[in-house]
Amino acid sequence: MQRGQFILKQSFLIFFTLALVGSVFSIGWGQPKSPPFPLLSPPKAPFWRVKPKVYQKILENRSIVVSVKTQPLKGGLHQLYMQGAGIVSAPLKYCFAQARQFENLKKVSSYIVSARFHSKSQRLYLHTKAYGFHAQMLMQIYVAPSAFIHWKVVAGSFTGLRGVFVFKSVGAEKTELSLTAIYPYKTLKMPHFFVEFGLEVILQKVAWKMRRFIEERYKQSLRK
């Protein structure tokens, strides 16, 4: 594989992941009464729950598990189907409050050039940069009851990418944070194996950074 191709593929995965991360920190208070786009429902039986050993690793070993698969659609289209989950050592209320502070995006990742949120329209503009490549996305946000955060990229890079983050209390000081997301496409111009494996690795790394960021801020709040 030539160096230019490798960098482009790495950049694609980074930008794709940052689109997911951006949605977590983009919650405002001008929430519309009805969903502005079709919502993606999280699976009733995600892979980490139907496999007891996997969920045990999440609870006991603080593992972050991620699955990225390609699926065929009608009309020659395909889609990426992404799932992931992990435990954050902080109460649900605190984690959800941190998720509203989208201005902290730059503190989580150095790949974020700018992030601007419009509370009235509930839209986030996200500009990322990696290896000399830029990606710009406009994301629509919708917060549903029971600590569900829905989002969709409505313009720019990766238009059509949508997903949902679910916050679930698993103890007084622990929160399960899970992700489900889909991205329909005609061609990604890269091997499916590379996309699935590479995206899984990067999603895990970014998830680790996110968790560390929230947990460190929570510890600091306890010391005040």
152-200 residue pLDDT tens: 999 988 899 999 999 999 988 999 999 999 999 888 766 666 677 777 8
For the chain, the domains span 3-223
CB contact at 8 A, 152 and 161: yes
Tell me how far apart the alpha carbons of residues 28 and 20 are, in angstroms, rounded to a whole number. 17
Mean pLDDT on 50-59? 92
Q: Is the pLDDT of residue 7 over 50?
A: no
Antiparallel, parallel or unpaired: β 162-169 and 133-144:
unpaired
Could you count the other beta carbons within 10 Å of the beta carbon of residue 66?
21
* pLDDT tens digit sequence for 79-110: 989 999 999 999 998 988 887 676 677 677 77
Residue type, 107: K
Q: What is the pTM of this model?
A: 0.84
Share of the chain above pLDDT 90, in %: 35
Check residue 122 and report its DSSP letter.
T
CA 56 – CA 48 distance, rounded (Å) = 9
CATH code given to domain 3-223: 3.30.530.20
pLDDT at residue 11 is higher than 60: no
User: If phi over 0 gives left and psi between -120 and 50 gives alpha, with beta otherwise, what is residue 160?
Assistant: left
> Quick one: pLDDT band at residue 2, thresholds 50, 70, 90?
very low
Residue whose tokens read 């290896």:
131
Identity at 196, one-letter amino acid code: E
